[in-house]
Amino acid sequence: MLTLFLILFPVVAATLILLLQGERVKQVALVAALIELAVAGFAFSRFQPDSTSQFGFDYPWIGSLGIRFSAGIDGISVLLVLLTGLIVPFIVLSTFDRSYERPNLFYALMLYMQAALVGVFTARDGFLFYLFFEAALIPIYFLAAMWGGENRIPVTFKFFVYTIFGSLFMLLALVYLYYQTPATATAPHSSAIVDFYKLKLTPEAQNWVFWAFFIAFAIKMPIFPFHTWQPDTYVESPTPATMLLAGIMLKMGVYGLIRFILPVVPLGVETWGKTAIILSVIGILYGSIIAIRQRDMKRLIAYSSFSHVGLMAAGVFSQTETGMQGALVQMLAHGINVVGMFFVADVIFSRTNTRQLDQLGGITRTTPKLTVFFMVMLLGSVALPLTNGFVGEFLLLHGVFTYNHYLGLAAGFTIIFGAVYMLRMFQKSMFGPTSSRTESFADLTSSESWVFIPLVVMVFWIGIYPHTFLKVTEPAVANLMKYIGTTAVSLK
């Protein structure tokens, strides 16, 4: 029932917000997001670390097709539910010093988005998953296209068509899997994800189902060469939408890989997994190299995010327990870091009206608070030990290295490149001579500081004591790995 609350509460809150007027919707949205966070945190603290699905609910949905409205939290989804609960309040708080036209719609869309995201991470039915997967796209599209930059209309449209196009193939695969499940007298077939796991698909079927899923998730994350929508969309979207996109939405893709591709089509992964890892590693290097050349802060962070998510995908496809664990923790860590980084970019943009590194500089002189927070976020992003990024990247690289030494080595460059572009960004914007735009740069306001403080706490918490998070995912990951191993063997 807790899961149902987590999905429905933002919907109810958002609908109420739609009816409100004026600036106070901010406060209402924040309170709603905090309630959601409290419940997500409660679920996390009460979560029993084993491989079962908990706090679930299950109702018949389309009786004649045997499709059920069923969701719950298990070891794979628990961190993502926490992440979704965690990020949204900070995104809302980050807008407190900004004003948006039609605020009620703005905040309502954010909460609708949150509901859909929780739905994606908790769905136990294939079609329910698809429904939320697509439903998440509608609010974010409107957020990006209504409040975005000058070029927003074509850019967000490309993003929308691109992602829908990918998901349609996933729908095909889901329908196909559905018809492969055995029919009984009462229910013709089943679309429960656990029933998909029991299927014994032929190798050919596994191959195309693999690609149908992979394209959908690869576009969402994005993995090279499906990434072309991403940098533009990140840049053109208003920063809160970018935070949602990079902080949570792209995790839907990684989550999908773990939830669907590995267990449902293990032979497909065996045939095509290497291709997927190679694409991911290309993305890691390509993203980092392009990031080094960027002048626009937001675009730089977008490419860095593209590079980081490639590493997560590679870790998942390495099919090692460490790789998978790394991906799960890194999803949480990356969500926190990227939201922090985008907020830094937003703070700088709101004061100087530019994100071009050439036009910035010398900000540190007047901003002790911002400098410290920026630095911590940056260190998390470049995976300095004792920060959150380190735990995830270490596990991920370990996983990829176990899979193939050369690929592991290539992927390892992400740390070096990451340090290069991140420190360059810091140096160009914060040090050096001040420009006309940064001369009277005001330090963080209290509401802005309150966005950073919890994020910084999380950076160190995960970095210093990752056990809190690793222990809840561990049994589920172990179980999944064991399961994949046995199915792959039994199919041969």
* Residues within the interface to another protein (CB under 8 A): 60-65, 127, 130-131, 134-135, 138, 142, 145-146, 152-153, 157, 160-161, 164-165, 168-169, 171-172, 175-176, 178-179
Helical pair 388-403 and 446-464, crossing angle rounded to 10 deg: 40
Helical pair 368-381 and 388-403, crossing angle rounded to 10 deg: 20
Please identify, using beta-carbon distances, which residue of 215 and 370 lies nearer to another protein.
215
Please identify, using beta-carbon distances, which residue of 86 and 136 lies nearer to another protein.
136
Residues 404, 421: Cα–Cα separation, whole Å: 27
Residues 359, 334: Cα–Cα separation, whole Å: 28
Please identify, using beta-carbon distances, which residue of 168 and 419 lies nearer to another protein.
168
Minimum distance of another protein from residue 309's CB (angstroms): 23
Minimum distance of another protein from residue 286's CB (angstroms): 26
| Contact of 221 with 132, CB cutoff 8 Å | no
Residues 399, 202: Cα–Cα separation, whole Å: 28
Please identify, using beta-carbon distances, which residue of 127 and 469 lies nearer to another protein.
127
| Contact of 88 with 36, CB cutoff 8 Å | yes
Please identify, using beta-carbon distances, which residue of 145 and 415 lies nearer to another protein.
145
Minimum distance of another protein from residue 260's CB (angstroms): 17
| Contact of 126 with 25, CB cutoff 8 Å | no
Please identify, using beta-carbon distances, which residue of 102 and 482 lies nearer to another protein.
102
Minimum distance of another protein from residue 31's CB (angstroms): 25
The residue assigned the tokens 């980084």 is: 341
Minimum distance of another protein from residue 124's CB (angstroms): 17
Query: Each residue of 210-219: b (16+ CB within 10 Å) or e?
Result: bbbbbbbbbb
| Contact of 171 with 130, CB cutoff 8 Å | yes
DSSP 3-state percent helix, strand, coil across the chain (nearest 5) = 75, 5, 20
Q: Which residues fall within 8 angstroms of residue 114, CB to CB, at 6 or more apart?
A: 10, 33, 36, 84, 88
Residues 313, 213: Cα–Cα separation, whole Å: 13
Minimum distance of another protein from residue 142's CB (angstroms): 7
Please identify, using beta-carbon distances, which residue of 169 and 469 lies nearer to another protein.
169
Q: Name the CA radius of gyration of the chain, rounded.
A: 22
Task: Give, in degrees to the nearest 5, the angle at Cα 173 between 169 and 179.
Answer: 145
Minimum distance of another protein from residue 139's CB (angstroms): 11
Please identify, using beta-carbon distances, which residue of 128 and 254 lies nearer to another protein.
128
Minimum distance of another protein from residue 95's CB (angstroms): 20
H helix or E strand, kind and range, residue 165:
helix 152-180
Please identify, using beta-carbon distances, which residue of 127 and 317 lies nearer to another protein.
127
Minimum distance of another protein from residue 280's CB (angstroms): 25
